[in-house]
Amino acid sequence: MLCILIGQVFVALATGMGKVSVATFLLRIVMKPWHRWFLWFCTVSMVIMSIFLAVTVFAQCTPAESIWNPELADQRVCHLSLTVVAITYCSYAAAMDFILAGFPLIALHGLNMKPKERHTICLSLSLGVFAGICGIFGTTGLTSLSNSQDYLYAISDSAIWTASEVTAIIFCLTLPALRPLYKKIRNQESSNLTDDGKGSNLAKIEASILAGKNDSDEAILLQGSTKGNIVRTQEKRTLEYGNSTLAVEQAVPIAGPAGNDVTSSDRNGMVIPNPWPPLGQRTCVYAPPKIPLRERRAQQKEARPWDQMPWELEQTPKEIACLKKSNIPPRLMFESSRTLKTTPKTPGTEYLARMIDNPCALRSAILMAGMHFSFQFGDLATFESTFLYHKIEVMRVINRWIASGDYKLEAAIIREMATLAFTEACHGELVAAETHISGILALIETARPDKGDPTRSDCCSTDRELANRYFVMSYVYITGLKSLLSGICRTGGHGSSLYAVPGRNLLKLSHTWHMSEAMENLGLKLQAIRLFPFFFSPLPQGARLNNADGQVIINSIRDFTAAQDHMFRETGIETADGKFEGFWRRGPASRVLGEYVTAHIESISVPGTKEENPDMTPSSFVGPWCGLTIATVFYMQDVLGALEYVDKRIHKYAVTLLEHDVAKVLTSKDTPKNEAFMLWQALVGLIASLRALKDNEQDRGLLSARQFFEKALKQQSTTLGIVTWSQAKGTLRRVAWPMGTASREFIEELWEKTIIGLPRV
């Protein structure tokens, strides 16, 4: 009897854990918060009821020994009815079977996943209906427990149905896991059936690649014997990085003996034709050998992860259609989709040619391509070793340039450091990305030679302006990415702190969110990333950086502000989730990111080139690119609340740059000014400087910036003839300003204190 009771405890736990396993499996797929909360409720409630039933088996009567010892039957006092508890538990478990069987049809309907995978999961989990039927039959047999004298005979039917229920649950859970095995077997069978024909060699190669694991690093390594008539030569290469020197043995396949149509690769990756003619029409195809796990680990320890092993695909030249020469000019192919909208081509800036001719620009383009790939597919996959190699090369170049002490390389060094900041963001390492931006700031502050040097790179030179633009672009991108990941973690229930989540997990969360809920935003983001190589290309010889036209940027900010006003009119409140929905899910953030790069490109002018832009007329929102970009970021941070804050030191330098550019426009008498736009910039600059002063009230630079923006605000209000906040708000709306006043009362108080002179309450 005691053994039967112990068995019932394990049966109760097994039945409950089956439902918990199904709910846990669905938790890895669903994205909506209410789906996750519902599955957590099912999991917790099932665990509690299973434990309660298991405890009730022995706690139903006192003393507990009287339950299985007939000699103590006279002393038995029962406080709980095991029959009632068991019927309640089994009924709830059967209902949970039906709920979890139908829940995937609702939860997976809106997810962006392959139809076959969706149908497989829904079909396999819908078989839980049979588990629910078994649970119903098992529940009906529990009523005889309290009336039967033979306990073992009374529970026999219920035990059979319960075992069937657990078996059905196990079958439902294991069926999706068998699909990869089925695909692997099917691929092997299809590869065996394609021995003849022109495509036989390619099919075998594809099958061998699919059968291998991490071919570029593991399966391509061939054994150093004569197995398969393939031999290997050892080649040692060394690379010095820092204070260490690494040696790597690299395997190079060599052509086999006569009779085997096998090609080989030279050290430059060129395919060498086989000197021995084949004896027959069929070619020999050698699948990669199965290397034991111990040897693979030893090879990984000896080799550098960024070194790619040489390998080859055996094809005739006629079959390689992708290598056919196209009649389309390369520049036309490269620039066909370089902007988000139809914009005229900037003459005189041959971006593709400068990217190919400059090794640093080409390496930056490769790293940006890796970042584009990781955002599109969730990780770098087999390209991670190449990405890591070029990243290390960028670090070596930066260290070599800094050691040279040539301040003329300041812009080039900052360009490479900005590239590193973007690559760290590619892996979700926000702390490392902010560290690189801080390094850019430190270099800008220290790379100022003596004023007596006539060739010094002062604040008005092209090199210093270009360095500042690299800093601002890095600042903008890291701010936006940090805000996006914070919103994804908050809405997805992953916590509010980004630093508690590993970088790779952040990248996977971002990719899953984009693929399931924000496909339009992902498309705009990828288009913006494709523009980054233009931004990080070196300037042509003698090029100048002029003022940028911010009309398109202001229009995008107006659209987002109007969407916020519409939401405020409907709901009467402004929530963080609502701002995240409007700014990130619907795409304004990614669109503005691309427009920043486009404005930079269009502000470049090259002497000796003829400007031919008949459709482009300058707008009234023309000014220095850095000031325009920083002002819009401050507006989205402090006024709209759509962006997160970054490091205080980085923010301080951004305030300083805005102060410099606003002062440059106000003191310029040659170009017309948009007075409302200058009022808007002065106000957001004053708000940003006051926010920075909260943490450091004695900072002289920030105090000077606050005084400057207060003076500029008074000057613009006098020029426009406005005094009250209502008048100022109407003028600000000519640029961009929200209608709602929630959490913005301090701005009105700031205006009254600065312009009217009223004391702050």
Burial of 696 (0-12, 13-18, 19+ CB in 10 A): middle
Higher pLDDT residue, 477 or 357?
A: 477
Cis peptide upstream of residue 624 (ω within 30 degrees of 0): no
Which one has a higher pLDDT value, 471 or 377?
A: 471
Instruction: Tell me the two tokens of residue 601.
Output: 């490109």
Domain ranges in the chain are: 2-176, 214-318, 351-756
Inter-CA distances, 361 with 6, 419, 469, Å: 71, 10, 16
Sequence-ordered list of residues with C-beta below 8 angstroms from that of 570, at least 6 positions apart, any chain? none
**HEC secondary structure over 666-698:** HHCCCCCCCHHHHHHHHHHHHHHHHHHHCCCCC
Token pair in block for residue 663: 């002062």
Reference 82, options 95, 94, 68; nearest CA is: 68
What is the distance between the alpha carbons of residues 487 and 481, in angstroms, rounded to a whole number? 10
pLDDT category at 274 given cuts 50, 70, 90 is: very low
The pLDDT of residue 612: 46
Strand pairing of 77-78 and 232-241?
A: unpaired
Residue 477: closest CA among 439, 438, 434: 434
Handedness of CA 357, 361, 362, 365 (dihedral sign): negative
Question: What band does 293 get if pLDDT is binned at 50, 70 and 90?
Answer: low
Instruction: With a cut of 70, say whether residue 416 has pLDDT above it.
Output: yes
The pLDDT of residue 38: 87
What pLDDT band is residue 630 in, cutting at 50, 70 and 90? very high
Give the chain's radius of gyration (CA, Å): 34
Q: Check residue 42 and give its pLDDT.
A: 87
Measured between alpha carbons, how far is 644 from 649 in angstroms, rounded to an integer?
15
Quickly tell me which residue has 């600065």 as its tokens.
Answer: 754
Give me the residues paired with residue 61 across strands: 78
Pick 296 or 690 by higher pLDDT: 690
Average pLDDT, the chain: 70
Q: Is the pLDDT of residue 297 over 70?
A: no
* Matching residue, tokens 């390619």: 202
Mean pLDDT of 607-635: 74
Task: Return the minimum-mean-pLDDT range out of 73-87, 143-157, 190-204, 476-490.
Answer: 190-204
Model confidence band, residue 337 (pLDDT cutoffs 50, 70, 90): very low
Residue 600 contacts residue 468 (beta carbons within 8 Å): no
pLDDT score of 659: 92
Q: How many CB atoms lie within 10 A of CB 206?
A: 16
pLDDT band at 154 (very low <50, low <70, confident <90, very high): low
Strand partners of residue 548: 623
**Cα 406 from chain centroid (whole Å):** 37
Q: Return the bridge partners of 237, or none.
A: 248
Please report the DSSP string for 482-509 in residue order.
Answer: HHHHHHHHHHTTS-S-GGGS-HHHHHHH
Q: Which of 278-282, 387-391, 469-473, 675-679 has the highest mean pLDDT?
A: 675-679
CA distances from 311 to 247, 253, 268, 546 (A): 20, 7, 12, 49
Average pLDDT (70-82) is 74
Q: Report angle CA 617, 620, 623 to the nearest 5 degrees.
A: 100
**What local confidence, expressed as pLDDT, does residue 646 receive?**
78
Angle, CA 751 vertex, CA 749 and CA 754 arms, to 5°: 105
CB-side neighbour CA atoms (13 Å) of 323 = 6
Host H or E run for residue 566: helix 551-571
- Per-residue pLDDT, averaged over 753-760, amounts to 67
Confidence of residue 445 (pLDDT cuts 50, 70, 90): confident
Using one digit for the tens of pLDDT, what is the confidence trace for 417-440? 888 888 777 677 777 888 888 888
Helices (H) and strands (E) in the chain, counts: 28, 10
Q: Are 131 and 97 in contact (CB under 8 A)?
A: yes
pLDDT score recorded for residue 631: 92
Q: What angle do CA 545, 551, 554 make, to 5 degrees?
A: 115
**Of the segments 292-301, 419-428, 511-520, which one has the largest average pLDDT value?**
419-428
Give CA–CA dist 651/653, Å, rounded: 6
DSSP assignment of 244-312 equals EEEEEEEEEE---STT----EE-TTSPEEPPSSPPSSSS----PPP---HHHHHHHHHHS-TTPPPP--
Structure tokens that stand for 674 in this block: 């948009």
Segment 698-727 mean pLDDT: 88
- The pLDDT-based confidence of 356 (bands split at 50, 70, 90) is low
Q: What are the DSSP calls for 586-638, one per residue?
A: SSHHHHHHHHHHHHHHHTEE-TTPPP--TT----S-EE-HHHHHHHHHHIIII
| C-alpha 552, offset from chain centre | 26
Record the tokens describing residue 280, joined without a space: 């027959």
Range with the poorest average pLDDT among 9-23, 185-199, 495-509: 185-199
Distance (Å, rounded) from C-alpha 697 to C-alpha 648? 13
Mean pLDDT: which of 151-160, 493-502, 563-572, 657-666 is highest?
A: 657-666
State residue 165's pLDDT score: 78
pLDDT, average across residues 372-392: 78
Q: What is the predicted pLDDT for the residue at 238?
A: 38
- pLDDT tens for each residue of 687-703: 988 888 887 777 888 88
Q: List, as one string, the DSSP characters of 83-135.
A: HHHHHHHHHHHHHHHHHHHHHHHHHTSSS---HHHHHHHHHHHHTHHHHHHHH
